Structure formats: C-alpha cells, structure tokens
Chain A
C-alpha cells in the first residue's frame, strides 16, 4: 500500500464515520420536528433527545477532520474544489450552523421550543442534500476549465438526473439509517411505543433508499462510463451490500433483534461506500484530479500520518469512554439517571 492510498483510506473512513453518525443525528432531529408537527412528540422526543444530547459536537468534528485532512493530504483539491464549490458548500455551512446552534439553543436554553426544533430539524435534513452535491460534482462533467480556472456549470448540474438522484438518496438514506438506529435505541430504552413507530419509519424509508441507490449506478452508465465500468468490477461488494440490506429489512419486519438489524445496516453502508470509493479510484475529480497528481510532499505526508496515529491513541479511548457512559449505559439509556449540567 502506498502513502496515497493510505491517506485517502483514512479520509474515506472518517467521511464514512461522519455520514453514519451525521445521518443518525440529522434524521433524529427531523423525526423530532416531525413528531411535534403531528402531535406525536409524547412518543418520540424523549428517546431522541436522550441519544442526541451528549454527542452532537462530536459529529461535527468528523466533518472538520475530513475537510482539513483532504487539504493536508491532497492540497490541489483546495484549488479545484475550493474554487468551484463556493455556493453549494456555503449553503451547507449555513445549514450546519443553523442546525448546530439551534439544537444547542433548544436543548440547553429553551427546552421544548417549537420554533427552534423545527429550525434545526429542517436544516439538518437539508445538510446531506447540500453536501452530497460534492460527490455528484466529483463524477465529472460539471466543471470546465476557463483561463486555467475551474468553473462550475450550474445549469448542467441542476438539470442532471444524477444530481437529483443523489440528493434523494442522501435524504432517504439519512432517514433510513436514523430510523433503524433509533428503533434499536428505543428498544433498549424499553420504550415499546417509540420502538414501533420508529420501526415503521425505518421500513418506509428502506424502499426509496435502495431504489435510488440502484438507480444511481444505472445513471452513471450514461454520465460517467468509465466509473460505471469500474463499479462492475467491484460487483461482489455491491451484492453483499444488497444482501445485508435485505437482512436488515427482514429483521425489522419480523421484529427480531434490532441490534443486529443496525449492525447489518452498518455493513450494508460500509460495503456500498467503500465499493463506491474503490471504483472511483484513482480519481478525486473526474477527469482532472487523481490521488497521485494531487498528493502532498512525502515530508508532510509522513508527519500527517504520525500525527494521525498519535491522535488516534488519544481519540479511541475517549470515544470508548463516551460510548460506555451514554450509548451502552443502561441506566442512562433508560432515562433513570440524569446528571445534566
């Protein structure tokens, strides 16, 4: 394995981490707002807020880690993506800012404030949509080089079916991941009503998730044939992903073992995400940028990797402690103990 692949694998793993915990987070915020709207907050709000409260800031760090890391390992991305993504990413930042701060405002300052809850619920669900545009653009065909500077063609971007499929997938997958996780969490909390409602949401959102995911592969055939061909060579990964998806849905349907349902779901997304990533190799941006021609110098690469290893040494024990105290602590999950500041 060379340094380039090591670098991109680390970053891709953290991006996966962000997508997973972010999806749970954003979906939970949305379900919370939706339950306020439909008068079901009695059932959902408690269990959702129990999960969300201690972890929201950690979620955000995954994203920061990814975009700081990619500039470090692949500095040329700053030039290509930085210049072209001004508008979509700015919208993403604004949504993230509203989501993060209004979440804190509601939770710590004004418990149960409906306006704040709607604001962060809605902002949250739009974040995946706005950030997923980056993945669409990476497929190529939307950026032209004019006078040596990359320029994004908005018309082509927003009239492409690929763009909209990826947007729909990002929203559907967010709600699906979140609902599956929360079903398990509610079940652990011993909350039957919430479990049933969330299980229903999970089953509802499973269908659009798998349909759009399949549809995107199909659309890539027209949009980026090279990538489409590469995907074919990784077919076992996508097959495994699909089987794991079927497993999750089956477990939910049969009301068996929600913990395993969530583990299978993680497997489904790991295989799909890394299959997609591997088939994207070596391009960071079709057809201008590969991981090789954008890679940083060896001195920086090695120091970043050393820093990363040292950082993980700090990070992993702390994350384990966080999860043991909140995610896997029965007393906390069931709401028997409250030590909130």
Chain B
C-alpha cells in the first residue's frame, strides 16, 4: 500500500486531538450538573454561598466550554479528514446518533447562552435554575450519543455484509449495540465524578492558599460528597464493563489482564511488568478474573491463545487499565474518608496534607480519564470497526497529515495555555471575599 506514514500520522493526530478534547469535554459534561446541584441547594437552604458557587463555576465553565466546543468541532471534522473510509461506512450505519448529537449540542448551546445572561433577571430563582436543566441534559446527551458511536466501533451491529456491500441496515440496532449500555454509563458517570473532584481540588487549593472562608469549605464538602457518590457508581459500572468485555470482546479483556491461556478459575493479575513474555512482580488474586468476568470463581475465561497474532491489541494496555482502576479506587477511599471525617469531626481531614491530597485528585482523575480512553481505543486495535475494518484500511491517503499534526499540536498548546491563563486571571482578580462584599453593598447590606 505504501500508506503507512499517512496511517501513522493520522493515528497520532487523532490521539492528540481526542486526548486534548476529552479534558474539556469531561468538564463540559460534568460541571453543568454540579452547577445545577449547587444552585438548587442554595435555593433550598436559602444560602447565598451556594448560589454564588454556582455562579462562579458557571463563569469558569464558559471558558472550558469554549475550548471544548472548538476542539469538538475539530475532532468531528478530523474523523472525515483522517478516516474517510471509516466515515463513509459510519455514515451508512451509525449516522443517526451522530446527527442527534448535533441537536443535543444545539439545545445546550442555546440554553447556556440564555442561562449565562439571565442571572438576577428573574424574581424567582427557580425559574433561572430551570434554564440550566436543558444545558445539563444537552451536555450529558451529547456524551451519550457520541459514546454510542464509539460503542458501535467496538461492537458493530445492525447490518450485514454481502459480497462487500452493506445490506439490511438497521440504525436503531446499530445505536443500541451490546457495548452501548456499559460504555455510555461509564463515560457519563465518570465525567460527573471527575468534575466533582476537579471542583473539590479548586476549593481545597483556595483553602490551602490562605483563604479560610466558609464558602470554600461548603464547596469542598459538597463536591467531595458528590465525588464519592459518583465514584461508587463508577465502580459498579466498571464491574458491568468487565462482564460485557468477557462476553463480547474477550481479546480486549485478555490483553488488559495479561490473560494468555484460556482457563477456568482464572486469577486476576494486578500491576507487574512484562519481560520476554513473562509476567514479573505482579500480584495474583486467585479466581479474580473469573469473578470479574462472570461472577463465578470457576468460570472459563477466554485467553489470548484463542486469537490470531495479528488480532491481539498491544499488551501495554494492562498498565493503562491498572492506572485507571487504581486512581478510581484511591479517589473513592479519599472522598469516603473526607465525608466520614467531616461528619465525625476528625481533625485530620482538615489538615494541610489531606487538602493537598484532594488537590492532587484533579490531575489524577484526569489521568484516569485519559488512561481509560487510551485503553478503550488501543484495546480495540487493530480494528477501527471490530472484525469489520482495520485501522490501516480506514485512513486517508493524503500526504500532508504530518504537517497538519504539527499545526494542531501548536493550536492545542495555544488553547491549553490560553485557557489556563484566562481562568487564573478571572478568579484571582475577583476573589470570592470581594465578590460577596460587593454584592452586600449592592443590596444595601441585606442578605438575600
């Protein structure tokens, strides 16, 4: 074919765009829900701190949403530019959720515009909160529809191939493919979890930086509590994902778990390194994999020996899998300790070092999100559409992909730095203490 270069650079560019976009997309899906909860708590408790929390989060959210929207547009177009053969196929079978995503996005965009420009416009705060509902729904459903497409790539259904022609197409079956339920749930819930921990990290950071305002303490408690709830949900869904993989994509599970031989009573391998085909320094949990895959310690789990060599994903996905799972578990424990600690009056959860751990949670959960997506994508290799189309057959034949890669890398640097600079400037210039003071002056001193 002589097209290896284009394939290689197309993969790198797609990976780069997705890795950058997913940071903003995850915040974009998760934060509207957090704003909604904060505003709702504020209205219910008649506590201006929570209302202001919602308002300040909304302000920061605009910046991340802007970058999320433009990078989302980039990946949307890059799919056709870099993977034209895949998109021709996808257009025929899985175009429906892609199309519906644009409506979800439309809906979100319109109401976000309205929400942002109607603060204090309504006498009744609840009316304003109501405007945020379509934003949160639109944001989450964007993720739902896009993840449906990704699920389809893992478990293509809803068509037959007869003599190289796609026939008997059923868009609904394609949408509701076997990978869909676990994947969609996992993506949406981890976005909520990540958003909660990122916002918690901001509150903890403010407290560490000398502010002792109760506003930040309320923010921290609320977000850690939410983070805990969503991390429990994530663990449950993660378990279902394992069972899905065992049944429908055993090669992905086997590669992620370094499960080489098909066997009953399969053990679970944690950590470890791979040296000349030998697993070393690993922790072995007897029956673990059989339990994870089928809830039955004696169940037979298919190993990599059942697959031809050129259909096995790279084995380094084991590391990605471990990173994702352990960050998830670590954050569950951390948030549980914090929640219990605050309620029991443990001094330890309000110490400096504990707060630093919470701050560390923001980059960690982002790393977990990235590892999860790399695991999902690399674990599907060599397929772009499992068992239907290989990655190298899907790529463009254009000779300029390397140049575009450099341009986009430059763009993401500019956007990444730009968004951080602007966000810092926004909040450093207008700390919460000053804003509360200003509001009180405006209202003639009476607290609403």
Contacts and interface: CB of A to CB of B under 8 A. Distances in A.
Interface of A: 53-55, 57-58, 60-61, 63-65, 67-69, 71-76, 78-87, 89-94, 96-98, 100-105, 108-110, 149, 151, 296-297, 299-300, 303-304, 307-308, 311, 314-315, 318-319, 321-322, 325-326, 337, 339-341
B102 A61 contact: yes
17 contacts: A60-B70, A64-B73, A68-B99, A72-B98, A83-B84, A87-B398, A97-B415, A100-B69, A105-B422, A108-B59, A109-B422, A311-B102, A318-B107, A321-B114, A339-B117, A340-B119, A341-B116
Contact of B95 (A58, A72, A86): A72
A303 B67 CA distance: 31
Closest 5 CB pairs of A and B: A75-B91, A82-B84, A72-B95, A104-B66, A109-B422
Contacts of A83: 84, 396-398
A90 B396 CA distance: 14
Given A110-B425, A341-B119, A58 B113 contact: yes
A79 B398 CA distance: 12
Interface stretch (B166-174, B226-234, B306-314, B378-386): B166-174
Nearest to A299: B169
A81 B80 contact: yes
Interface residues of B, number: 78
B71 interface: yes
Given A78-B85, A339-B119, 16 more contacts: A54-B113, A57-B113, A67-B77, A68-B95, A69-B99, A79-B84, A101-B418, A105-B418, A299-B171, A307-B100, A322-B113, A326-B113, A337-B121, A340-B117, A341-B55, A341-B59
B120 A339 contact: yes
B161 interface: no
A240 B120 CA distance: 47
Given A61-B109, A97-B70, A86 B96 contact: no
A318 B134 contact: yes
B110 A300 contact: no
Nearest to A331: B121
**Interface SS, B side:** helix
A300 B106 CA distance: 21
Nearest to A311: B103
**Interface SS, A side:** helix
Contacts of B107: 314-315, 318
Contacts of A299: 169-171
Interface in B88-126: 88-93, 95-96, 98-103, 105-107, 109-121
B431 interface: no
B95 A78 contact: no
Residue with the highest number of chain B CB atoms closer than 10 Å, among A73, A76, A87, A96? A87
A58 B66 contact: no
Interface stretch (B199-207, B345-353, B367-375, B401-409): B401-409
Nearest to A64: B102
A119 to B, nearest CB: 9
B98 A71 contact: yes
B81 A54 contact: no
A318 B88 contact: no
Contact of A78 (B74, B84, B134): B84
B63 A104 contact: yes
Contacts of A100: 66, 69-70, 73
